[in-house]
Amino acid sequence: MMGGWGNMMGNWGYSGYGSGGYGMMGMAGIGMHLIFGIGVILLAIYLFRRKASHVQAGGLGQYSGMDILRERYARGEIDSAEYQSRKQDLEGK
């Protein structure tokens, strides 16, 4: 009687096909999930970097030299004489 009980409890939760009944198929599934997850992360990084490079390349192209000059003058980075001089240079006069 004791042998039957011990044998029954000794195999509880174990179907004989490896770890929890999955064995190598369980490991392959984990591996596939891991590869898929890494692929998603790499794709996200690629898209983020691509978007960031377009923003950086086009960011300064939106402002002309005159716009930047006006901003610098408005912030007080340059005085009136320097503003007029650079304005004439930019306008080609």
Domain spans of the chain? 23-91
Task: State residue 11's pLDDT score.
Answer: 53
Q: Which of 74, 54, 92 is nearest to 83 (CA)?
A: 74
* Structure tokens that stand for 30 in this block: 């984990």
Please report which confidence band the pLDDT of residue 1 belongs to, taking 50, 70 and 90 as the band edges: very low
pLDDT tens-digit readout, 40-85: 999 999 998 888 766 555 555 577 888 899 999 999 999 999 999 9
Helices (H), the chain: 2-10, 23-59, 65-75, 80-91
Cβ neighbours around 70 below 10 Å, total: 14
Distance in angstroms (rounded) separating the CA atoms of residues 38 and 81: 58
pLDDT tens-digit readout, 10-43: 555 555 555 555 666 778 888 899 999 999 999 9
The CA R_g of the chain, rounded to the nearest whole Å, is 35
Q: Does pTM surpass 0.75?
A: no
